[in-house]
Structure 1
Amino acid sequence: MGCCTSRPTPPTGEEAHAAAIPIPPNSSSIAAINAPNNTHSRSASHVSAHSQRAGSTSSRPNKPLRPPSPVQRCPPERALAPWTPTQLAREREAFFDTRVTGDPAVWNALKIICEMLRAGDVSGAQGVMDAVGLTCPTGRIKSEKPARGAVREGERRKGGVFDEQGRGYDIPGWVVGDPDDLVEEPEMGDGGEKGVESDGESDEDEKGKGREGEVVKVRARLSDKGIDVVVEVGIEQKVRLLVKRLQDKSGGKKMRLLYLGKILKEDQSLRDQGWQEGHVVNALVFE
């Protein structure tokens, strides 16, 4: 007669390998893969537990995304006078940089979704929504709260987005669409600021004529397949070139790269954005 103590059976080699691969699509897997390779095994149990919760997402109210509705004016609580396009872009950046509630990875995904909706790419925005497990009960991500005060018990807001844990994310209309009362930029003389670099830069421009730096191997995990793709790129080269090479190996689909929960800026290098060799980046893939 003795007490029986059960212990979990250690996973076999094949089981451990399978557990280390995230189960797309969900937002928790985004956080899990933005870590060095040696942390994957420790996150396996978290991914497994999350996959059991993910099934509840399909039971929540959800409608396909629709184009953003018109925005009549700049928000009076933030704008003393109508914004210029440059001021609007600055305010949008500030909005996403100052979010303190919810999941940072979800906010990064929502930033991409808003950019796509403004560009008219509704299907691409829907693909990102599905990839990170977000739902939208009305089909419009713009949130409309009661005029004053917090949401009272029994009173529902209109619009908005929810993550897999049921947390709501409020997005003002001016973040999704351009207000109708925007004013033109002031005239700039010959000594004004130079334009932004064209997205159509050639590989030779990206290399910076020999300033590509040390060539490193970058491992990216694709959200649509859950597989890793490895490409080589110069540590000083812009992320835009890394995206191009990943697209060449993954069927040419659109993608955005995330590292440690932040969107990688395509006009900056990996080194400038703190990437460390051996770390995995997340590739949000969409149609």
Structure 2
Amino acid sequence: MGCCASRTSDNTPPAVLAHSSSRNITAPSTRPSSIPSPRASHASQGNAHPPTGRADADNRPNTPLKPISPTQRSRLPNTLASPTAKSSSRVQPLTDSTHSTWTRSRLVKEREDWWDTQVTGSEQIWGAIRLVAQHLQAGQLQEAQTMLDVSDCTCPTGLLWRGVYDATGVQYKVPEWVVVEPEGLAEEDGMDDKDLAGDASASAMQETVEDTLADDSGSLIRVKVRTSHDQRDHQVVMRMRDPVAAIIEKLKKQAKLDPTLVIRLAYGGRIYEPNDVLEANARWNFANNYILTALVFQ
């Protein structure tokens, strides 16, 4: 027979375990320290980190996107470390790591190359993030936030270049210079006669290609388009040279969508402009029955 003090009182209420869903979404993150550091550059590791678990993704803080200040400036890749630095975290330009002069045209090319070389993670998510960046650069904060919400991504800091997470907890990192206007851009060099001749030749070649393709413009084909809001596939009948804007209008009618909805088409991580044709994306091939993603803004 035990001591009275050792007996468990029948009046002691049972312990109640707090459900994880009751945690404030703005509470500090409790993610384990084993998550890869987001500070490493794209030169030393991939930009989409492995998932950290569904429960962890549910508890991750989410902050509305913040606009880019007109006076904010980023640093160009080759200014993040001295030319003699041997650190593995040094960021190198993707197209010309030996040339220290950055012009506007080079910045555009480097940004395009950066987006095109992201092979980890989901192509659809990269495409959505690219569109978010474009809206932020244009000062369209609401459109950028809508795009992020449509893709089911979260941004713990409200700053796109500090990382966003998809629904499975995978982190996607975009360098600040890809989104924010950088400092230190040099003036463009003047074009000489040789450059002008080259441009004229390229223009003439483009016209020849377009004339050749025009012969096939009347052929009707089907393309598969998947709408982002309901993940449904639609077979849209089109002509090979139809602009994206025409494809979107046909999709709206076929899928019985609100005519006022804003829709953007994407494939392979690239967002089409309304006047583009599908083959403007070098990865597109009509013969391979690829699936276009229709990003629906509701």
Specify if TM > 0.5.
yes
- Using the TM superposition, give the Cα deviation of residue 244 of structure 1 relative to its aligned residue in structure 2, in angstroms: 4.6
1:60 corresponds in structure 2 to 60
Cα distance in 1 for partners of 2:219, 2:271 equals: 19
Q: Which amino acid aligns with 1:253?
A: L
1:134 aligns with 2:153: yes
1:108: which partner in 2?
Answer: 127
Comparing 127-136 with 243-252, greater Cα deviation is found at 243-252
Structure 1 unaligned spans of 5+: 1-52, 144-159, 198-204
Partner of 2:73: 71
Q: In the superposition, relative to structure 1, how do residues 61 and 117 fare at CA in structure 2: closer, same or farther (>3 Å)?
A: same
Query: Structure 1 residue 236: deviation in Å?
Result: 3.4
CA change 1:248–1:54 in 2 (3 A) is: farther
Q: 1:3: which partner in 2?
A: none
Other-structure match for 2:185: 182
Q: Note the C-alpha offset of 1:110.
A: 1.5
Q: Secondary structure at the match of 2:223?
A: strand
Q: Matches of 2:187 and 2:75 in 1, distance apart?
A: 14
Which whole-Å CA distance do the structure 2 matches of 1:256 and 1:54 have between them?
Answer: 29
CA 1:268–1:83 in 2, change beyond 3 Å: closer, same or farther? farther
Higher relative contact order (CA 8 A, sep 6+): 1
How much identity, in percent, do the aligned residues show? 32
The answer to whether the Cα contact below 8 Å between 1:134 and 1:163 also exists between their aligned partners in 2 is: yes
CA positional deviation for 1:270 = 4.7
1:167-213 per-position Cα deviation (integer Å, ceiling 9, x unaligned): 2222111111121322332223572637xx9xxxxxxx9xx866514
Instruction: Look up the SS of the partner of 2:75 in the other structure.
Output: coil
- 1:281 has 2:281 as partner: no
Q: Using the alignment, how far apart are the partners of 2:185 and 2:253 within structure 1?
A: 39
| Match among 211, 221, 229 for residue 224 of structure 1 | 229
Equivalences, count: 210
Alignment partner for residue 169 of structure 2, among 156, 166, 177?
166
Judge conservation of contact 1:106–1:163 (CA < 8 Å) in 2.
yes
Q: Which amino acid aligns with 1:65?
A: L
Q: Which residue of 2 aligns with 1:31?
A: none
- Structure 1 residue 165: deviation in Å? 2.4
Give TM-score scaled by structure 1 length: 0.59
Say which is worse superposed, 134-143 or 217-226, in terms of deviation. 217-226
User: Structure 2 stretches of 5 or more lacking a match?
Assistant: 1-52, 81-91, 94-98, 204-209
Q: What amino acid is aligned across from residue 184 of structure 1 in structure 2? A: E
Q: Give the TM-score taking structure 2 as reference length.
A: 0.58
Distance 1:244 1:86, change over 3 A: farther
2:109 match: 90
CA contact (8 A) 2:74 2:180 kept: no
| Segment drifting more, 269-278 vs 115-124 | 269-278
CA distance in 2, matches of 1:243, 1:182: 37
The CA distance in 1 between the partners of 2:166 and 2:61, in whole Å, is 12
Do the aligned residues in 1 keep the contact of 2:73 with 2:182 (CA within 8 Å)?
yes
The structure having more radius of gyration, on CA atoms, is 2
The one-letter code matched in structure 2 to 1:254 is V
Q: Measured at CA, do residues 169 and 214 of structure 1 come closer, stay the same or move farther in structure 2, by a change above 3 Å? A: same
Q: Which amino acid aligns with 1:281?
A: L
